[in-house]
Amino acid sequence: MTEQAIKAMQPWQDDVYDALKAAGIGIVSYVPDAGHARTIARAIGDPDMEAIVLTTEEEGVALTYGAWLGGRKAVLLMQSSGVGNCVNMLGLVQSCRFPFLSLITMRGEWEEFNPWQEPMGRAVPAVLDAMAVEVRRADTPEDARDLTLRGAEDAFGKDKGIAVLFSQKLIGAKVW
């Protein structure tokens, strides 16, 4: 994605990043995703933030647990299609009561052009619920910052698993 395209992203994405900073998140782990491009770019450009690119989303779950054990707070950014890769690792949310925060861009919803994204898009809330990760959904720009900040507070203040889903309508239709 070009720098110009990243700068043209909607301002709610800056609000999300600011909420992460306000919550004391120091590590952003991610699998590259256009829906998170602005947050990723800001994390990479912030000398006080550590941005870690992953080869699979499951690594990000382990990284958030390890960061917590090391006295730091981390967030996992991923697309809904990556949730299925995390199921085994997410079992630690319930069994070990690790705090876990993930921001998930949804696919398989409004204006989706790839039909193979739809099954996982529908399954994400149920999969997360089954793994004791509380789901919160941001459908409007106003929701995005508040749900991110409150999600971080609940994850790290109450040792909960929290996933904030950014709806496909919020992110915008992908154009290919």
Q: How many domains does the chain have?
A: 1
Decide if 134 is inside a domain. Answer: yes
For the purposes of burial, counting CB atoms within 10 Å of the CB of 126, is it exposed (0-12), middle (13-18) or buried (19 or more)?
exposed
Cα separation, 104 vs 112, whole angstroms:
16
- What single-letter amino acid sits at 141? P
pLDDT in tens, 91-111: 998 899 999 999 999 876 666
Decide if 176 is inside a domain. Answer: no
Decide if 84 is inside a domain. Answer: yes
Decide if 93 is inside a domain. Answer: yes
Q: Which domain holds residue 161?
A: 3-171
- Pick left, alpha or beta for residue 91 (phi over 0 → left; psi -120 to 50 → alpha; otherwise beta): alpha
- pTM for the model: 0.90
Q: What is the CATH number of the domain that holds 125?
A: 3.40.50.970
Decide if 133 is inside a domain. Answer: yes
> What SS3 state is found at 176?
coil
pLDDT band at 2 (very low <50, low <70, confident <90, very high): low
- CA torsion angle for 145, 65, 132, 143 (degrees, to 10)? 0
